[in-house]
Structure 1
Amino acid sequence: MKDYFIERPRFPAHDFRMRFWTRIELFESILNAVVNHDHYFARKIDVVGRQSLSPRQRLTSAFRMLANGCSADSTNNYCRLAETTAIKNLKRFCQAIQAIYRATYLHKLNCEHLKRLLCKADKIGFSGMIESLDCMHWEWKNCHTAWASQFKGRYNKSIIVLKVVASYDTWI
């Protein structure tokens, strides 16, 4: 909480963006949407009268695992979540994101959307282009030794190339 989520945080907003690959305002927006969608993320009082994990702890854990590719047990040090809780949080988070944003961002294009995308592409000088391709090289820390030579990248490290196709409206 003190690192990013109080009035005068320990670290500036650009550190949050570097660590979690998103702006803190977007994180807060997603946090509100997820808590409103799935009450699992809301803070509750347990049987003993103690408060459960905060929604920010739960989402910070999920964001760390997704943004940095860290393991579930590594979130224990920073977010104070057990490995099984971190995995459950991540699964529930992904289900909530899919349910919340599917209608807007994760659906197939229809004719109206296609015309709008073609018009946008034409305005910026890429007529006929409806999507853009992006790829990212991720280090594969747990690459099986038998496969290591097949996945060698720069600097003799094993990598995986992730490819994503997204439209200008971020339909994926």
Structure 2
Amino acid sequence: MKRDIYCKIVKEVEEHDPWFQQRRNAAGELGLSSLQKVTVAFRMLAYDAPADSLDECLRLGESTIIESMRRFVRAVVEVFGDEYIRAPNKEDTARLLDMNQRRGFPGCWEALTAYIGGSLNEINVLHRSHLLDNLAAGEAPKVQFSINEHYYTMGYYLADGIYTEWATFIKPIQSPVGRKRQHFVVQ
């Protein structure tokens, strides 16, 4: 995550919930910082880590870690939910398609990856993607693009090998043979 995005999240969460603000205790010593409390929540989410595995590296007690996670998730939903935790609108969809077009992937909605052996798996990722809801219902925004003089009217997703075999999931070639196929390979 870029530093400026991380700092924005910390600032917004700290302003939303005073519990994240650093305070002095009864002895006048500074307590835990908002950075410690937010970082532990991010680590729990990113690494699917239990609270007791993070207590030593960030110097927080297990109960504080659990409270940080609970309050962080609530704050993020309340602060950012209306803008970011929603189904994409037409402008969002157009922006995604344009961004991926510039990256060399015309007609690509997004790249899907799943954590093998982690907290996320294929079914969870599929259920969490608002973009896939319409696709599963047989509906999708119209897209027009051509690759090698073949014309397509439906977008696709870049996906890793864990995903279901759907025509709309484009997976990389595992063992490419020849220079031409090596441009679409899993590293």
Question: TM-score of the superposition, structure 2-length normalised?
Answer: 0.55
1:98, distance to aligned residue in structure 2 (A): 1.0
Greater C-alpha Rg: 2
After superposition, the C-alpha distances for 1:17-58 in whole angstroms (9 at most, x for unaligned) are xxxxx2333322211121122111110122332222111111
Root-mean-square deviation over aligned CA pairs: 2.9
Written as runs of structure 1 = structure 2, the 5 A alignment for 1:84-163 is: 84-111=63-90, 113-114=92-93, 126-127=106-107, 130=109, 133-139=112-118, 160-161=121-122, 162-163=124-125
**Runs of at least 5 residues in structure 2 that lack an aligned partner in the other structure:** 132-187
1:116, distance to aligned residue in structure 2 (A): 5.5
Asked whether 1:46 is paired with 2:25, we answer yes
Residues 54-63 or 129-138, more deviating: 129-138
Q: Give the 3 Å change call, closer, same or farther, for CA 89–110 of structure 1 in structure 2.
A: same
Identity %: 28
Q: Give the 3 Å change call, closer, same or farther, for CA 29–116 of structure 1 in structure 2.
A: closer
| Alpha-carbon distance in 1 for matches of 2:43, 2:100 | 34
Partner of 1:77: 56
Contact 2:23 2:30 (8 Å CA) reproduced: yes
Partner of 1:13: none
| Alpha-carbon distance in 1 for matches of 2:121, 2:91 | 36
Question: TM-score of the superposition, structure 1-length normalised?
Answer: 0.59
Asked whether 1:55 is paired with 2:34, we answer yes
1:111, distance to aligned residue in structure 2 (A): 4.9
**Runs of at least 5 residues in structure 1 that lack an aligned partner in the other structure:** 1-21, 141-158, 168-172
1:134, distance to aligned residue in structure 2 (A): 3.4
1:160, distance to aligned residue in structure 2 (A): 4.5
